[in-house]
């Protein structure tokens, strides 16, 4: 079996939801055994993003004021949205929008590696899905940074790698009902 | 190969979901999201495993242009079939929908047209062979 085939995500962990009225923000923390500089490159460089992120970027996200088109990967139809980088303090803080959502990354030197924190405001109905998706993406990112890339696992692919279980676990942690699973038709697209 | 899915572009998925369920009477079928992407479909309660209608965001210029052009030509973006177009017309109208055409006999069918408030005209069709 390849490393990818053997991959199974661990239990749901490292996630919180900040509730500001109707606006909910997912906060995910992941410790990585790699320098902030290396993690920064993986967060901003399109060639690195392609190895782990749930979207394609048509340009670097590493400079404040630049715009890039982000295209969802693994969705039944691609969703293209224009993103503007609103903050890029390498290698510490990165902020940009993904459609109508806001993404904020914080990188802190921690124990010889990086404590990576993601803030992502996701509609409450889909927030456990987002947590499950990012969980798997972070595992794949870790493999990439370690030099043993296993290839991006997003969208339909994630279904085979424990995403439904993670979605249920995060939903339980956040105290929300498990949202609708994608329909058969959607999965077959 | 089967046709299991069709779609209409909508200007607001949340508003569309309300209209297609509360006004037209369909049921939500699939609803999931990845980043800004949201896959949202409804199905007829008469045929829960039947063809799904995707309520697709019109948030790209090509979709918006297409949607506006056919709307201006008074062309329906989708057609739903019914065994009782007059009954559906009364029911849907009573829930506040605006019809641009009341039930009208045309060749082979009786049709009505309504505005879905999301940028589309929707045609209801009752084939003549289903009438008494």
pLDDT for residue A3? 85
Rounded-to-integer distance, Cα B7 and Cα B101, Å: 22
A70 in contact with B at a CB cutoff of 8 Å? yes
Residues B111, B89 contacting (CB under 8 angstroms): no
Q: How many CB pairs under 8 A join A and B?
A: 75
pLDDT for residue A76? 86
Per-residue pLDDT of chain A (189 residues), as tens digits, is 788 999 999 999 999 999 998 899 999 999 999 999 999 999 999 999 999 999 999 999 999 999 999 999 999 888 999 999 999 999 999 999 999 999 999 999 999 999 999 999 999 999 999 999 999 999 999 999 999 999 999 988 999 999 999 999 999 999 987 655 554 434 443
Helix or strand holding residue A29 (H, E): strand A23-32
Quick one: how far is CA A152 from the chain centroid? Answer: 11
How does residue B132 score in pLDDT terms, banded at 50, 70 and 90?
low
DSSP structure class, residue A177: P
pLDDT for residue A187? 45
The pair phi, psi for residue B44, each rounded to 5°, is -80, 135
Q: Which CATH number fits domain A14-176: 3.40.50.80, 3.30.530.20, 1.20.1290.10, 3.40.50.800?
A: 3.30.530.20
Picking from A87, A83, A88, A117, the residue whose alpha carbon sits closest to that of residue A100 is: A83
- Please tell me the pTM assigned to this model: 0.84
* Overall number of domains in chain B: 1
Beta strands A113-121; A101-110: pairing state: antiparallel
pLDDT for residue A68? 97
- A68-82 residue pLDDT tens: 999 999 998 889 999
Contact A126 B38 (CB under 8 A): yes
Average pLDDT, chain B: 95
pLDDT for residue B4? 94
Residues A26, A131 contacting (CB under 8 angstroms): yes
pLDDT for residue A189? 39
pLDDT for residue B131? 47
What residues of chain B lie within 8 A of the CB of A99, using their CB? 35-37
Residues A144, A49 contacting (CB under 8 angstroms): no
- B87-118 residue pLDDT tens: 999 999 999 999 999 999 999 999 999 999 99
Q: Residue B34 maps to which CATH number?
A: 3.10.180.10
* Nearest chain A residue (CA) to B6: A185
Residues A125, A179 contacting (CB under 8 angstroms): yes
Residue A72's DSSP bridge partners are: A55
The domain locations on chain A are: 14-176
- B43-73 residue pLDDT tens: 999 999 999 999 999 988 999 999 999 999 9
Residue B98 is part of which domain span? 5-130
C-alpha angle with apex A108: A103 to A112, nearest 5 degrees? Answer: 140
């Amino acid at each position: 079996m390849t490393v990818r085939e053997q991959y199974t995500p661990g239990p749901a962990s490292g996630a919180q939801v900040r509730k500001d009225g109707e606006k909910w923000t997912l906060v995910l923390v992941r410790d990585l055994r790699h320098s902030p500089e290396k993690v920064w490159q993986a967060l901003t460089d399109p060639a690195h993003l392609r190895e782990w992120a749930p979207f394609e970027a048509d340009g670097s996200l590493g400079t404040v004021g630049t715009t890039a088109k982000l295209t969802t990967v693994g969705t039944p139809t691609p969703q293209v949205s224009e993103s503007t980088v609103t903050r890029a303090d390498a290698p510490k803080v990165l902020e940009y929008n993904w459609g109508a959502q806001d993404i904020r990354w914080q990188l802190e030197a921690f124990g010889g590696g990086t404590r990576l924190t993601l803030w992502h405001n996701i509609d409450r109905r889909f927030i456990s899905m987002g947590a499950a998706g990012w969980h798997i993406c972070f595992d794949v990112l870790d493999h990439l940074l370690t030099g043993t890339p296993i290839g991006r696992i997003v969208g339909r692919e994630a279904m085979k790698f424990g995403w439904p279980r993670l979605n249920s676990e995060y939903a339980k942690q956040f105290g929300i009902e498990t949202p609708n699973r994608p329909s058969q038709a959607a999965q077959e697209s | 190969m089967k046709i299991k899915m069709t779609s209409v572009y909508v200007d607001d998925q949340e508003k569309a979901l309300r209209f297609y369920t509360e006004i037209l009477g369909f049921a939500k079928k699939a609803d999931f999201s990845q980043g800004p992407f949201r896959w949202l479909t409804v199905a007829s309660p008469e045929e829960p495993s039947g063809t799904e209608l995707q309520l697709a965001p019109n948030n790209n210029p090509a979709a918006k242009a297409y949607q506006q052009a056919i709307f201006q030509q008074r062309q329906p973006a989708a057609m739903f079939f019914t065994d009782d177009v007059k009954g559906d017309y009364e029911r849907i109208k009573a829930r506040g929908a605006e019809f641009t055409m009341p039930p009208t006999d045309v060749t082979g069918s009786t049709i009505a047209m309504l505005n879905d408030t999301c940028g589309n005209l929707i045609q209801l069709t009752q084939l003549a062979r289903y009438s008494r």
